[in-house]
């Protein structure tokens, strides 16, 4: 079976198409033929070896975490899904990838895809929307009294987070580049701040929740713009921060919380319903053919992408 793999940690140049063996799905797994797979920041972090303590050092590795496609086989104990179902979801954490002809995933890592959008758009949703949903409704619990700052708000994660925050009644401030100000407003920001002209850590406002997506606002700087009992959500925690915050958080008022999101059918089903009901708008999608997968990763990792890059593996049904 053909898949995009890599045999060592490194840059985009280590990615190549290779032949791998895909076993039959285990009892509680399904095998999916992806029609489209999207690119996420975590793909680059895993590939570069920044998360090797969690991803492991076994090679070859696959890449591409979330997908939309068709079930082609089911494990012996799977009752929820059948061959031919059109699903969207995530590969198995940092240890697998979906960018290839097929992928085996746990049965509870997928849901029926939103019917109102094509697979190429559905593939852009699972990781970023699950992360945004769990950050705002599990890590913290926002409501109409919550003021939320989304720093780095026009990638896929930020665009979905702003909409979910607004839907909960929160007051949303988005931070992005000059080129993205308009789309930030369109996706739910009450106030948009251009980081090129304003220093975020010196803003006069105080926020109940800061969702840090840019990688440029550490907790110690964000503390200056957090309210007294606020939460700072770290979406890319290191092993060291996981240990350090477990010790420090109980004795400080401003909490440095860590997002360790995980795909789940129930949350994916909620997302699909919100999309089909028109309550949630997918991020802008930039579509690449399979043979241009390296370009999709290159532009996604440039740091200036608005929305999501998606790689089309086969034609829509």
Q: Roughly how many angstroms between the first and final C-alpha of the chain, as a whole number?
A: 21
Location of each CATH 3.40.50.720 domain in the chain: 128-258
For the chain, 317 residues long, give each residue's pLDDT as a single digit of tens.
999 999 999 999 999 999 999 999 999 999 999 999 999 999 999 999 988 888 888 999 999 999 999 999 999 999 999 999 999 999 997 889 999 999 999 999 999 999 999 999 999 999 999 999 999 999 999 999 899 999 999 999 999 999 999 999 999 999 999 999 999 999 999 999 999 999 999 999 999 999 999 989 999 999 999 999 999 999 977 666 776 777 677 878 899 998 988 899 999 999 999 999 999 999 999 999 999 999 999 999 988 899 999 999 999 98
The alpha carbon of 291 is separated from its chain's Cα centroid by a whole number of angstroms, namely: 23
How far is Cα 20 from Cα 200, in angstroms, rounded to an integer?
A: 46
Task: Please name the residues in contact with 204: beta carbons below 8 A apart, sequence gap of 6 or more.
Answer: none
Return the structure tokens found at 170.
Answer: 């929160």
Q: What pLDDT, on a 0 to 100 scale, did the predictor assign at position 240? A: 67
Q: Give the full edge-to-edge strand order of the sheet including 16-19.
A: 16-19, 2-6, 61-62
Domain spanning 2-125+282-312: CATH 3.90.180.10 = yes
User: Rounded to 5 degrees, what are φ and ψ at 212?
Assistant: -95, 110
Homologous superfamily (CATH) for 128-258: NAD(P)-binding Rossmann-like Domain (3.40.50.720)
Bridge-based pairing state of the strands 226-234 and 255-258 = parallel
- 251-254: which pairs have CB atoms within 8 A and are 24 or more residues apart? 253/228, 253/229, 254/223, 254/226, 254/228, 254/229, 254/230
User: Rounded to 5 degrees, what are φ and ψ at 132?
Assistant: -65, -45
Between vectors from CA 17 to CA 110 and to CA 98, what angle results, nearest 5°? Answer: 5
How far is Cα 171 from Cα 190, in angstroms, rounded to an integer?
A: 7
Bridge-based pairing state of the strands 226-234 and 29-38 = unpaired
Task: Please name the residues in contact with 251: beta carbons below 8 A apart, sequence gap of 6 or more.
Answer: none
DSSP string, the chain: -EEEEESSS-SGGG-EEEE---PPP-TTEEEEEEEEEE--HHHHHHHTTTTHHHH-S-SSEE---EEEEEEEEE-TT--S--TT-EEEEE-STTS----BS-EEEEGGGEEEPPTTS-HHHHTTSHHHHHHHHHIIIIIS---TT-EEEEESTTBHHHHHHHHHHHHTT-EEEEEE-GGGHHHHHHTT-SEEEETTTS-GGG-S--EEEEEE-SS---HHHHGGGEEEEEEEEESS--HHHHHHHHHHGGG-SSEEEE------HHHHHHHHHHHHTTSS-PPPEEEEEGGGHHHHHHHHTTS---BEEEEE-S---
Location of each CATH 3.90.180.10 domain in the chain: 2-125+282-312
């Amino acid at each position: 079976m053909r898949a995009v793999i890599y045999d060592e940690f490194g840059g985009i140049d280590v990615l190549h198409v290779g032949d791998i063996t895909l076993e039959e799905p285990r009892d509680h797994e399904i095998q999916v033929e992806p029609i489209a797979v999207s690119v996420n920041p975590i793909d680059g972090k895993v590939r570069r070896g920044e998360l090797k303590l969690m991803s492991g050092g076994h090679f070859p590795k696959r890449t591409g975490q979330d997908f939309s496609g068709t079930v082609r086989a089911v494990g012996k104990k799977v009752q929820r899904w059948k061959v031919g179902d059109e699903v969207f979801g995530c590969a198995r954490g940092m240890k697998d990838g979906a960018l290839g002809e097929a992928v085996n995933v746990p049965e509870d890592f997928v849901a029926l895809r939103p019917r109102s959008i094509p697979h190429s758009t559905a593939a852009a949703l699972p990781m970023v929307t699950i992360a945004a949903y769990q950050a705002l409704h599990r890590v913290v619990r926002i409501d109409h009294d919550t003021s939320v700052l989304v720093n780095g708000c026009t990638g896929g994660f930020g665009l979905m987070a702003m909409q979910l925050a607004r839907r909960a009644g929160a007051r949303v401030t988005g931070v992005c580049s000059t080129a993205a100000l308009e789309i930030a407003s369109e996706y739910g920001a009450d106030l948009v701040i251009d980081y090129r002209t304003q220093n975020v850590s010196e803003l006069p406002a105080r926020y109940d929740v800061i969702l840090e997506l840019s990688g440029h606002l550490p907790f110690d700087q964000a503390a200056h713009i957090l309210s007294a009992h606020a939460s700072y959500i770290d979406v890319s925690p290191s092993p060291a921060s996981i240990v350090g915050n477990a010790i420090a958080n109980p004795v400080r008022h401003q909490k440095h919380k860590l997002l360790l999101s995980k795909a789940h059918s129930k949350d994916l089903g909620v997302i699909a319903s919100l999309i089909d009901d028109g309550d949630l708008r997918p991020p802008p999608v930039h579509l690449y053919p399979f043979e241009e997968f390296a370009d999709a990763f290159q532009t996604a990792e440039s740091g200036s992408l608005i929305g999501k890059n998606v790689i089309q593996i086969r034609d829509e049904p």
